[in-house]
Structure 1
Amino acid sequence: MKLASLRAIDAFVRLGGTGEAAQGLGISQSAVIKTLRQAEEELDLSLATTIQGRLVPTPEAQSLVRQAQPLFGALRRARHEADMIRVGMVNRLRVATVPGLAHSILPPAITRTRRALDESAAVEIMFDHVREHLATGEADLGISYGPMRADDIEDVALGQSPLVCVLSRDHPLARRTDLSRGDVEGERLISYGPDGVSASDSFQEALTSAGLSERVAITVRHTDTACHLAREGVGIALVDGFVISSNLVEGLAALPLEQSPLVTAYAHHRRHSPLDRAARLLLAQLQERSGS
């Protein structure tokens, strides 16, 4: 079977329709349908069925992709690597991170690392699925609220920070020097959801210990989204204090949460794969920047 057929089947099942697959692959919908029909003949398997006027994956197609997920994952990685080679980024520093830390401790560390390498380091930043990116060799370093506690992954504590409340300067609480749990009890709270990659998520543990996890009304993935919502007066953003080092809180009030539990930022790398110079430099910069 041709690679194009495998890619079409994967996209069709993963995205849920021929139109979505066509958009994801950058080809016409008719080309996707034709490829699926050819694959059905070759495999002697029904891959698509019509429901309410649109083609959707059959249970057989879903089972095929589920069982062949390592193959489809390897195919996507190979395709991505080919794209990177084509644009001259074969030798690059690859970092997988969660959005909350990508906006705070990561940018200055990358800047200093590139400066140490005479600006010669190409960098690729991938969001979420940190453990998967590391396990498959797609990332050199990972950053999350971990730890992962996996036999094949080394967890490196970078530093700790309390929770902070970010709110519009027009907010009635903005003139306070700090806020307690009681102060935010009746407020609309904005914060992150679980990262989904760690054995224990230190940010979620801090929220729970502070008695605020059940009070979050708006869940976001990105710190800038939380800060923009706070800026618009939608509510109070509960984020980690690392964000204070960024310009996201410029024009906003950032107040420490009284008696806040600490959030720990972690770096991760594959235990038995030595880091190259760029990755070692970035890890050192992350540790220095975070105070570990």
Structure 2
Amino acid sequence: MTDTFPAYLISKTESGQATELTNITSDDLMDGDVTVKVEYSTLNYKDGLAMTGKAPVVRRFPLVPGIDFAGSVVSSDHPRFKQGDRVVLNGFGVGEVHSGGYAGMARVKGDWLVALPKGFSARQAMAVGTAGYTAMLCVMALEQHGLTPDSGELLVTGAAGGVGSVAVSLLSRLGFQVTGSSGRASQRDYLIGLGAHEVIDRSEFNGKVRPLAKERWAGAVDVAGGNTLANVLSQIRYGGAVAACGLAESMDLPASVAPFILRGVTLYGIDSVMASIEKRQQAWDRLATDLDLDQLEKMIVEVPFEELPAAAQAILEGKVRGRTVVKIPS
């Protein structure tokens, strides 16, 4: 195959990196045993970092960014997949050390692919994307901890973002009472529409961290890290849990051991990049049954392929709400 198709390509420069929209062929794709025609991709916070070079996400050059994609198999030497199969990919270093979804075609290892659950279109799968799949992993961790709707109120930080939006929707549909935290007061109606019981300002978690604060939440999903996560931990009820999956605020954690040894709080680290295929398939199967697709549609903003660089900058500035999908031109 020598078809030509559009792609974003990140190259190394003397001052850092450069991102350009260009055309490549299948001969330019990296090694792998499955070739996929990419129909849709999405924009995550990590994609924003990669596209702008604001953090050293990309570690191999030249490289096609895009940590997610969904599409159909063009050719396969992998026993699990055949031509025409519908597949989705999240993580595994794609968009970081292996070319990803911001191109008309992608060639990857079949071991990285998940069969697209019935009922999901490629567009819907990318509306979920890594953010929604990560949110499902967080929900699963809290459930496995033993939290139920009777346990008490849950908190979701960064609630208007990609992970937060899906987490609010999932948890509320599962019967939990959910409070969303956001720095954007204008998003209150949006979050209430997704099922949030209450919306509070993220400034409530900006203050100096106390070892133990008043017990407020049975559990939480946190995308922020930093001072926010430290304050959330200090407010978790006895025996509760936090699923932490992001560092939008900071990689630091200025907390004490008090919540862990005096209240028996558990902090779950949620890794979506290298999670096993079994866990991925479980998460996607749960999304197919537990996610309200009508609510998912409310989260979607579709960005033209050529406007991805501007959207990447916007997501880093906290100006993107919900889930951004990108139709990939052939």
TM more than 0.5: no
Higher relative contact order (CA 8 A, sep 6+): 1
- Using structure 1 for the length normalisation, give the TM-score: 0.28
TM-score if structure 2 supplies the norm length? 0.26
- Select the structure of larger CA radius of gyration: 1
Higher share in helix: 1
